[in-house]
Structure formats: structure tokens, C-alpha cells
Amino acid sequence: MPILVAPLAGMALNMGNAMDEREYMTGMIEGAKAAGSITFTCDGPSPIFFELGLELLKKSQGWGVPTIKPRPEETFVEMARQMEQCGVPAIATDIDAAGIVHMKRAGQPAGPWPFAVWERTISRVKLPVILKGVMTAAEAKLAAEAGAAGIIVSNHGGRVLDHTPGTAEVLPEIAAAVKGRLKVFVDGGVRSGTDVLKMIALGAEAVFIGRPMAVAAVGGGPEGVALLLNHYAEQLGTAMIYTGCNTLADIGPSVLWPIRNE
């Protein structure tokens, strides 16, 4: 299942209290599980984000990946240790939260930290660490050198810095630079199974979907999340039939006609 659920939370902060935060995160985690996918949970200025993730990931026996904000080293390592106890397969961190306004306002530093700090922090976390928010090949190479197990090519849904390029534009160069050294994931505006096919053709190994999954969770709980993921997976299957791809590994640049004709 190459379609994963991006970290996205904050009913009070971001979604006009559309529903109870626990009910929402349960929908995201359990719905993804039912569709054979996985949800990345969040961290934020209020402890509720991390604590809820911890509680629900424990309950789901580690079926999810916590995204810990790029907090100071000791705090990050301690939070990662708590998550390790839940049986999660990896830890992610949204390094592009370095300038994020909610964390600044709450007086909680979220980087940016120098390369040496990341190298040491990653070496101190037992689980694979995925860096989210990589937008250049140079940065992706640094992530590999620092020991990251994966990167998520992401501009945080356009929420952190205006005028950043789209992720589909930067993905091929990044994938060419580091694929094979670490896992390359992507998010940003993926809205159909055909979009998933395109992102894989551009070099991603799996994609994340954010905002539509939140809409599904608010509207339909776990069933809504599972329904939408299954819908995207079915569309991907259809797109694979029409492009002659039997397996995900068959999806390459040749399915994108402008590149094929170059």
C-alpha cells in the first residue's frame, strides 16, 4: 500500500473544533490500519498532540509513525524513547517546522539545528528516523549523511514559506540524488490514485495524503478514512492497468508522456 496518511491534527488550532481530537486521531489511525495503510501522528505546542499520539499508538500496538517536532536534542530523544515503547516502526520529524509560528508563539524552539546535531540525534534514536520537509537534492544528501532512514519531500502543504516550488517539481532531482541510500516519500496535493502513480513515476517510493484524509476523518471517522484510502488504491490499480504496470516497481518515468518524448 504506497498511500500513507500525512501527519495533520489540531482540531482547535486548525479545524474550528470540527470534532473531538481523540475521536479524530482514532479515525485517522484505525481507518488507515483497516485499509492496510499507516498514519503519521503529530506533535505541537500543546502537549495534547504528542500525548494523544502516544496513547493511541500504544492502543493500536504501534500501528503508526509519530512525527516529533524538531525539538532540542534531549527533549527529542526522550520523546522518541517514549514512542519506542509503543512498538512503532519509525520516528519522523518535520524539520520544516523550524520557522513555524505556533511553536514560536508558544516559546518552544523547533530548530533549525546544525547538521552535527541531527547526526548525533539520529544516532541516539534506536528506530529509523524520517526527515519530513526536504525540498532540495543537497538537503536530501545531508539527510542521508546524517543517517536518516528516509525523507519526505514536502513543503508542508505550502504552509511554511510562500513561493516554494511544488513537490512534484523537485522530486525527480531529489530521487536521482539519494534513492537507494534512503527511502524517498512525497506529499503535497496528491488527490487521486493517478496522482499517486505520477509521484511514483517521478521517483517516490510511497506518497502521503493529508487534507483529504482529515476531511474523511471528520466526515466519516475510521470508515471514512478507510473508504478514501481504498478509493485511491483502486484508482491507482486502474491507472497501473492502463499504463502497463504489473507492480509498483514497474512504475517509472515512461508512464509520463512528456518525459518519454524528451
Ligand X SMILES: Cc1cc2nc3c(=O)[nH]c(=O)nc-3n(C[C@H](O)[C@H](O)[C@H](O)COP(=O)(O)O)c2cc1C
When asked if residue 148 is in the footprint of ligand X (CB under 6 A), the reply is no
44 touching ligand X, by CB under 6 A: yes
Identify residues 160-189 at the interface with ligand X (CB under 6 A): 187-189
- Known active-site residue 231: no
The CB-of-123 to ligand X minimum distance in angstroms stands at: 22
CB of 228 vs ligand X, minimal distance in Å: 12
Shortest CA distance to 158 belongs to which of 196, 229, 111, 210?
210
Q: Report if residue 14 touches ligand X, rule: CB under 6 A.
A: yes
Annotate each residue in 54-73 with x if it binds ligand X (CB under 6 A) or - if it does not, as one string: -------------x------
The Cβ-side half-sphere exposure at 197, using a 13 Å CA radius, reads 25
Residue 50: name the closest of 23, 76, 28, 27 by CA. 76
Number of residues that bind ligand X (CB under 6 A): 22
Which residues within the stretch 185-244 sit at the binding site for ligand X (CB under 6 A)?
187-190, 209-211
What is the Cα–Cα distance from 73 to 53, expressed in whole angstroms?
20
7 binds ligand X (CB under 6 A): yes
Is 157 a binding residue for ligand X by CB under 6 A? The answer is yes
Q: Which is nearer to ligand X, 100 or 240 (CB)?
A: 100
Q: Which stretch binds ligand X (CB under 6 A): 8-16, 107-115, 218-226, 247-255?
A: 8-16
Q: Contact between 37 and ligand X (CB under 6 A)?
A: no
Nearest partner of 132 among 109, 162, 152, judged by Cα: 152
Q: Does 132 bind ligand X (CB under 6 A)?
A: yes
Tell me the three-class secondary structure of the chain, residue by residue: CCEEECCCCCHHHHCCCCCCHHHHHHHHHHHHHHCCCCEEECCCCCCHHHHHHHHHHHHCCCCCEEECCCCCHHHHHHHHHHHHCCCCCCEEEEHHHHHCHHHHHCCCCCCCCCHHHHHHHHHHCCCCEEEEEECCHHHHHHHHHCCCCEEEECCHHHCCCCCCCCHHHHHHHHHHHHECCEEEEEECCCCCHHHHHHHHHCCCCEEEECHHHHHHHHHHHHHHHHHHHHHHHHHHHHHHHHCCCCCHHHCCHHHCHHHHCC
Question: Using CB under 6 A, which of the segments 5-13, 74-82, 216-224, 245-253 binds ligand X?
Answer: 5-13
Q: Interface with ligand X includes 10 (CB under 6 A)? A: yes
16 vs 180 by CB, closer to ligand X: 16
Binding to ligand X by residue 104, rule CB under 6 A?
Answer: no
Shortest distance in whole angstroms from residue 217 CB to ligand X: 12
Q: Does the footprint of ligand X cover residue 156 (CB under 6 A)?
A: yes
Q: Interacting stretch for ligand X, rule CB under 6 A, among 6-14, 123-131, 173-181, 250-258?
A: 6-14
Catalytic residue set: 156
Q: Which residues bind ligand X (CB under 6 A)?
A: 6-10, 14, 42, 44, 67, 94, 132, 154, 156-157, 159, 187-190, 209-211
